[in-house]
Structure 1
Amino acid sequence: MTTKNILLIDDHPMVLEGLKALFQNREGITVAAAFTRGREAIAYLKKQPAVDVIFLDINLPEINGFELCKMIKKDFPAIKILALSTHYERSGVARMIQNGASGYIAKTAGAGELITAIDTVCNNGMYLGAGIQEKLTLPGQQGSGAPLPRLTRREKEILLHIADGKTTAQIAGLLFMSPLTAETHRKNLMRKLGAGNTATLIKIAVENGLL
C-alpha cells in the first residue's frame, strides 16, 4: 500500500491535534506536517513538495483558505485539497471548488469519512461531505448563468452519487442497473452540463443549485 502524505492547515492548535490523533496509526496515512498559518505551509511545500492531500481550514489569518487554495494549486497542481469548515454556504463551497479544491468536508467529520475523502480525491474524484450535500440541496437556488439542460430523475440521482465519491460500478449496484447503463448516464450528465471531468461536473452542479 502506498503511503499518502497529509498536510494539515488550521489556525486552531486543538483542531490540528485532534486531526493528528484521528490519523495516528492509520495504515497508509502519514501526517507530514501541520501549520496554523498559510505562509508557513507554503514555505514548507517549497522545500518538501511530496504531499498528496492538504486539509485546509477556510478561516485563516493573513491568507484566507480561499486564496491559499488558489496559491497552492497554482504552484503545486498535483496536490489535492480538501476544505475544512463549519460553514456550508453554497457560495463558499463553489468558490473553493472554483479555486481548485477537490472536496469540502465538515470539521465534525469522523475518521472514517476523512479517510474516504482522502481515497476519493487521490483517485481523482470529488468529495462533498454528506451533511454538506444536504445543506446544498435546497429548492429554488439556481445559478445566475445561462439555463442548463433539464436533467432526468435518474441523472439527478447519479449526480448525487458522483458527488458522494461513488464509482460507476458502485452507482450501478446502488441503483440496480448495469455498469454500462450507469456509465451512459454519467456521460450524458457530462455532455449536458458541458463538463470535461468529474471536478468540473461537480463545480457546475454546485454553482447551479443541482446539489
Structure 2
Amino acid sequence: MKTTIAIVDDHELMAKALSGLVQKFEEYDVLYEVPGGNELIYMIKMKMVPDIVLLDINMPEMDGYDTALWLKNNYPEVKVLALSMNDKEESIVRMLRNGARGYLLKGCKPHELKQALDSLVQKGYYYTEYITNQLIKSLNPDTFKNPVDMLGLNERETNFIRLSCSDLTYAEIADKMCVSPRTVDGYRESVFQKMNVKSRVGMVLVAIRLKIFEI
C-alpha cells in the first residue's frame, strides 16, 4: 500500500509542481492539494487523513505553525514535513516544536525530497545535521529527554558511539566490544545513517550536543 500525502501550499504552481514530483515516486500517492490549514482540517474531518503532510509555512489565514500544532494536538500520527524558503533558526525550531517531523527548504533537489519522505516513513522523522544543530542550540534541554530513543539507537550502537568519542581506533573499539571489526563497521554505518552524518567527527559532535557522551 502506498504512503498517502497531502500538500498544503497557497502557491498553486508550487503545489502542482510538488504533486507532480511526488507522483513520480512509486511508494507515494498524493491524496489532495489544498491552499491552507483550514482547508486541510476540512479534508481531514471528511475522513481524508493522509500519512504525511507537506506543509508550507507562510500562508494566509492559518499558517504552517498553527496547522502543524493543530495536527500535533488532534492527529499526532500524521507526520508533518515543513517546506519553506526560510532557513532562519527561529522558524525551524518553532515548526519542530509545533510537531513537524522534519524541515526541508523549497530549493532542495528531488532526491532530497525522496530521502526526506523515506526517512519519515522508516524512522518517523527527518533531521539533517544542520537541523539537529539548530535543535540542540535552541530547544530547551527537556524537549527531548532521551536522544537515544529519538534517534532509534540500540544499546550496542550507543556503546559504540561513546567509545568512538575516545582516541581508540575502530579496531580497538571492536576489541573492547568483543566483536569483529566487520561488526563495528556495521555499527558505524547504522549510526551514521541514524544521526545523518558522514564522518566520525560529525558523529562525535552530535553525540556531545545530544549529551549521549559528555566531556
TM-score by length of 1: 0.64
Q: Which residue of 2 aligns with 1:11?
A: 10
Q: Which residue of 2 aligns with 1:119?
A: 118
Give matches, 1:27-66, under 5 Å. 27-66=26-65
8 Å contact 1:102–1:121 — kept in the other structure?
yes
Instruction: Give the direction of change, closer, same or farther, for the CA distance of 1:78–1:143 in structure 2 (3 Å limit).
Output: closer
CA deviation digits over 1:2-21, x for unaligned, max 9? 30100000110010011012
Alpha-carbon distance in structure 2 between the residues aligned to 1:184 and 1:29: 27
**Runs of 5+ unmatched residues, structure 2:** 142-150, 152-156, 165-169, 171-183, 193-205, 211-215
Q: Which residue of 2 aligns with 1:209?
A: none
8 Å contact 1:105–1:129 — kept in the other structure?
no
Deviates further, 110-119 or 65-74: 110-119
Q: Which residue of 2 aligns with 1:91?
A: 90
Q: Which residue of 1 aligns with 2:176?
A: none
Question: What is the RMSD computed on CA atoms of the aligned residues?
Answer: 3.7
**Which has more radius of gyration?**
2
Alpha-carbon distance in structure 1 between the residues aligned to 2:30 and 2:189: 36
Structure with the larger RCO, 1 or 2 (CA within 8 Å, 6+ apart):
1
**Runs of 5+ unmatched residues, structure 1:** 147-161, 163-167, 186-200, 206-211
Number of aligned residue pairs: 162
Alpha-carbon distance in structure 1 between the residues aligned to 2:53 and 2:44: 11
TM-score by length of 2: 0.63
Q: Which amino acid aligns with 2:77?
A: A
Equivalent position SS for 2:123? coil
Give matches, 1:130-149, under 5 Å. 133=130, 142-143=137-138
Equivalent position SS for 1:82? strand
Alpha-carbon distance in structure 2 between the residues aligned to 1:112 and 1:11: 24
1:67 partnered with 2:66: yes
